[in-house]
């Protein structure tokens, strides 16, 4: 069997401009043609591609490790699911390059898929969330990132990955009604030095999400990017894993389903979409959709 590799952009750093596209199946959807397009014509050098549970079912591909994104509720918290069929995510140095990628994807997928949602994303300053806090500090690096993000062949084909995509909408006016030290205690880090605040409350985001505090530990590889469109702004949260479980365990704790304490992020931000996708591995220059 040909060797299988992860899609090349999963582990590479984001470029300054991003484009997150969600697709659903068109009325003319043809499973044989769609499979052929995905596995022979899509170029994994252009974008990351993820397949959602609805599309896996249409393609008759059984992969128990992929499930639809759950809608969850915690105290005062509502987390929606908006499970898509197909997701692509590209980053580029310029908007022109992204436009070209987007046109090529529309031409490629146009018969079998309809573009359901399109969001342009960007790197804010040196990699901060729009709240002003550095995002990604505790991301695993190097080999550790590979083992966190990429499946080893046990429950999904070697080289594949799972991704959670969740759009969060911020209310920055509301955030800014809090003093700087209150904001620091919501996140759990100092906005200027990025140092952890040791005595931050248990609701602080980095206390809720501390990857080593779960048992077993819950590491994820985050590749989120800010977005701002019209009056809306927030974070396109994107996290890869060799399975979906670490992400979901963190999310449940953030929502307060474990102990009734919700993440302080919910004070000024709320998720408005949520999807899970399987990112097939690459053999040669094409996606490899074969399942054991
Ligand atoms: C509004 C949405 C979010 C914002 C603005 C946000 C922002 C941040 C910031 C500023 C940090 C600290 C620096 C760092 O280590 O990256 C952080 C850490 C982290 N976040 Fe989020 N985050 C959001 C949503 C989420 C969600 C939905 C999850 C997973 C379910 C998550 C998981 C994590 C993890 C695992 C860490 C590192 C914790 C550690 O091990 O220290 N975040 N986030």
| Per-residue pLDDT tens digits for 49-63 | 999 999 999 999 999
CA distance 218 to 57: 28
Residue 68 Cα to ligand 1 midpoint, Å, equals: 22
Residue 122 near residue 128 (C-beta atoms within 8 A): no
Please tell me if the CB atom of residue 211 comes closer than 6 angstroms to any atom of ligand 1: yes
Atom of ligand 1 nearest to the CA of 265: 1
Please report how many Cα atoms fall inside a 13 Å half-sphere around the Cα of residue 194, on the Cβ side: 11
Structural class in CATH, domain 17-287: alpha beta
Please tell me if the CB atom of residue 145 comes closer than 6 angstroms to any atom of ligand 1: no
CA distance 118 to 64: 28
pLDDT band of 1, cuts 50, 70, 90: low
pLDDT band of 100, cuts 50, 70, 90: very high
Residue 183 is predicted with a pLDDT of 98
* Mean pLDDT calculated for residue range 180-202: 98
* Mean pLDDT calculated for residue range 219-232: 97
* Mean pLDDT calculated for residue range 95-103: 97
Atom of ligand 1 nearest to the CA of 250: 30
Atom of ligand 1 nearest to the CA of 269: 1
**pLDDT of 2 strictly over 90:** no
Residue 222 Cα to ligand 1 midpoint, Å, equals: 8
**pLDDT of 47 strictly over 80:** yes
Please tell me if the CB atom of residue 168 comes closer than 6 angstroms to any atom of ligand 1: yes
Specify the residue with its C-alpha closest to ligand 1, atom 41: 210
Q: Which residues pair with 113 in a beta bridge?
A: 25
Nearest Cα neighbor of 181 from 191, 171, 195 is: 191
Specify the residue with its C-alpha closest to ligand 1, atom 7: 135
pLDDT band of 27, cuts 50, 70, 90: very high
**pLDDT of 173 strictly over 90:** yes
Specify the residue with its C-alpha closest to ligand 1, atom 11: 135
Residue 196 Cα to ligand 1 midpoint, Å, equals: 13
Residue 171 Cα to ligand 1 midpoint, Å, equals: 17
* Mean pLDDT calculated for residue range 226-239: 97
- Across the chain, where does the E strand assignment appear? 17-25, 48-51, 72-74, 77-79, 86-92, 113-122, 161-170, 221-222, 225-229, 232-241, 269-271, 275-279, 282-283, 286-287
Specify the residue with its C-alpha closest to ligand 1, atom 5: 129
Provide the residue ranges of all domains of the chain, joining segments of one domain with +: 17-287
């Amino acid at each position: 069997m040909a060797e299988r590799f992860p899609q090349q952009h999963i582990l590479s750093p984001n470029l300054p401009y991003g484009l997150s596209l969600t697709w659903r199946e068109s009325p003319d959807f043809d499973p044989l043609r769609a499979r052929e397009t995905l596995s022979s014509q899509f170029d994994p050098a252009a974008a990351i591609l993820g397949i959602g549970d609805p599309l896996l079912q249409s393609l008759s591909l059984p992969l128990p490790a992929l499930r639809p994104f759950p809608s969850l509720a915690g105290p005062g918290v509502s987390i929606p699911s908006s499970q898509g069929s197909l997701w692509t995510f590209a980053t580029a140095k310029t908007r022109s390059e992204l436009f070209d990628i987007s046109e090529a994807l529309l031409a490629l997928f146009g018969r079998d898929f309809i573009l359901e949602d399109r969001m342009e994303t960007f790197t804010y300053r040196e990699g901060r969330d729009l709240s002003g806090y550095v995002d990604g500090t505790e991301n695993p690096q190097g080999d550790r990132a590979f083992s966190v993000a990429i499946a080893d062949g046990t429950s999904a084909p070697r080289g594949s990955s799972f991704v959670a995509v969740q759009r969060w909408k911020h209310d920055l006016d509301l955030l800014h009604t809090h003093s700087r030290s209150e904001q620091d205690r919501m996140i759990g880090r100092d906005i200027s030095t990025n140092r952890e605040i040791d005595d931050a409350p248990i609701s602080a985001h980095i206390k809720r999400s501390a990857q080593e505090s779960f048992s077993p530990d819950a590491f994820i590889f985050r590749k989120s990017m800010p977005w701002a469109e019209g009056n809306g702004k927030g974070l396109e949260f994107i996290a890869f894993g060799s399975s979906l479980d670490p992400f979901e365990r963190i999310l449940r704790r953030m929502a307060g389903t474990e102990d009734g304490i919700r993440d302080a992020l919910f004070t000024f931000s709320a998720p408005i979409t949520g999807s899970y996708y399987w990112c097939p591995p690459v053999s040669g220059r094409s996606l490899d959709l074969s399942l054991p």
